[in-house]
Amino acid sequence: MHATEVGSALDGLEDEPLLMPVTRALDWTALHKLTQSPAAAAQLAPIRRTAAVRRGTRMIKFLTGRQLGGHLRGWPISGFCYRAFDVAHLRTPADLAILSGGSPDADGGVVFAIRWRAVDPWDYEVPLAGAYDGLVAMPPHDRLGSPVIGTGFTPSGRHIVPEFVTRDLAELPVPANTSLVAYTGDGTEVTLYTYLPEQRAWSRMYGPQWRHLLPDTIAADQEYFPTSTPLTRYVGRYRDNVYEAIVDPPGEFRVAARTRAARYPLDALARRIPSATWRDAPCTVVREEGDWLRLRLSRPDGDQVARLGAHCVERGLYEAWAPAAEVTDPREDDHWYEL
């Protein structure tokens, strides 16, 4: 269609789709080949920029059964993720296997996912060569899941899927109305749990007919899963005082309180990120246990992984335990969003 008609054709869509120029010289097949070639990153940049995150964008991360259990116990959101708009056509476990980082057969032919709305575009980055050269060059024996190409697109033999990472590979607190879902062999989507931020708990949403979907490590008849408080969290300013915040994008940001009358709308909102440096490597802190800190590398590469003894816990995420006494510059960084 003519360029002047594109705006009206996209009216009513919640998110803008990935846009690409189709010509006789550059058809869909040729573009797909470019997305799988690191050398084509610069050529693809104008196309990749059309897939952008904005406040309220629906995001999704596909999970294994083990990761599903981790989120029910309080794991925040982190690592590689996608706009739900870009993967809406992928419904079956066979199609989603490359995105989940595991084999559907290992979880009974089911793929799980966590789905949420983005609080701010600042929280997400495109894993391009240059900024994430360490991940692109990571040797196969030091990584889990598919390789990072560096073009901003996920490795796939059939599909063109833009991918994102949480900024600096850090953790994001879970927003209100986040859901944990399952995709069955026939493409059925089942909402398993919804997050209740005031109670810091996941509430069960599925009926008895879907209990067989869950891994054996999760009690299928349990209706309520209280979670631990992560180190990273949202905070907000109300009348010159700072409180813990609850976010429900795109427009509801309020003081965290159990009673509705005390849930005041915030004047300003920030994400508090625990950070540190260990042996010259920038890290975020994901756990504290006594005199030890669990650190996640913000810009992992092969040298850091070998030097720090870090392990790949999932695609792109490398963590290690460090004595707190050896960690320098421990701090909590507050990034204030523009509301």
Q: What tens digit of pLDDT does each residue of 153-198 get? A: 999 888 899 999 999 999 999 999 999 999 998 989 999 999 999 9
Do 98 and 176 have their domain in common? yes
Q: Is 8 a member of any domain?
A: no
User: Is the model more confident about 3 or about 67?
Assistant: 67
Q: Is 135 a member of any domain?
A: yes
Do 96 and 202 have their domain in common? yes
Q: Please state, in angstroms and rounded to a whole number, the distance separating the CA atoms of residues 12 and 18.
A: 16
Tokens of 230: 């992560």
Q: What is the pTM of this model?
A: 0.92
Task: Check: CB of residue 285 under 8 Å from CB of residue 298.
Answer: no
Q: Is 160 a member of any domain?
A: yes
Q: Is 222 a member of any domain?
A: yes
Do 216 and 304 have their domain in common? no
Q: Please state, in angstroms and rounded to a whole number, the distance separating the CA atoms of residues 7 and 95.
A: 30
Do 211 and 249 have their domain in common? no
The domain of 87 spans 58-226
- Span 1-13, mean pLDDT? 52
User: Which of 167, 191, 226 is the last residue in one of the domains?
Assistant: 226
Do 317 and 241 have their domain in common? no
Do 254 and 322 have their domain in common? no
Tens of pLDDT along 218-263?
A: 999 999 999 988 899 999 999 999 999 999 999 999 999 878 888 8
Burial of residue 44, with CB atoms counted within 10 A of its CB: 0-12 exposed, 13-18 middle, 19 or more buried: buried
Q: Is 53 a member of any domain?
A: no
Do 307 and 158 have their domain in common? no
Q: Please state, in angstroms and rounded to a whole number, the distance separating the CA atoms of residues 61 and 115.
A: 7
Strand partners, 128: 151
| Locus of tokens 């996608």 | 82
Q: Is 85 a member of any domain?
A: yes
DSSP class of residue 240 equals: T
- Give 84-141 as a DSSP string: GGGGTT--SHHHHHHHHTS-GGGGTS-EEEEEEE-S-GGGEE--BTTTTHHHHT--GG
| Locus of tokens 């969003």 | 337
User: Residue 9's pLDDT is what?
Assistant: 47
User: Is the model more confident about 257 or about 299?
Assistant: 299
Tens of pLDDT along 103-141?
A: 655 667 899 999 999 999 999 999 999 899 999 999 999
Q: Is 33 a member of any domain?
A: no
CA angle at 64 for the pair 303 and 170, rounded to the nearest 5°: 45
User: Residue 18's pLDDT is what?
Assistant: 87
Do 132 and 215 have their domain in common? yes
User: Is the model more confident about 16 or about 172?
Assistant: 172
Phi, psi of 291 (to 5 degrees): -95, 15
Average pLDDT, the chain: 91
Residue 70 has pLDDT above 80, yes or no: yes
Q: Please state, in angstroms and rounded to a whole number, the distance separating the CA atoms of residues 151 and 45.
A: 8
Burial of residue 221, with CB atoms counted within 10 A of its CB: 0-12 exposed, 13-18 middle, 19 or more buried: exposed
Do 197 and 248 have their domain in common? no
Number of domains comprising the chain: 3
CA angle at 70 for the pair 128 and 184, rounded to the nearest 5°: 80
Task: Check: CB of residue 294 under 8 Å from CB of residue 303.
Answer: no
Q: How confident is the model at residue 28 (pLDDT cuts 50, 70, 90)?
A: confident
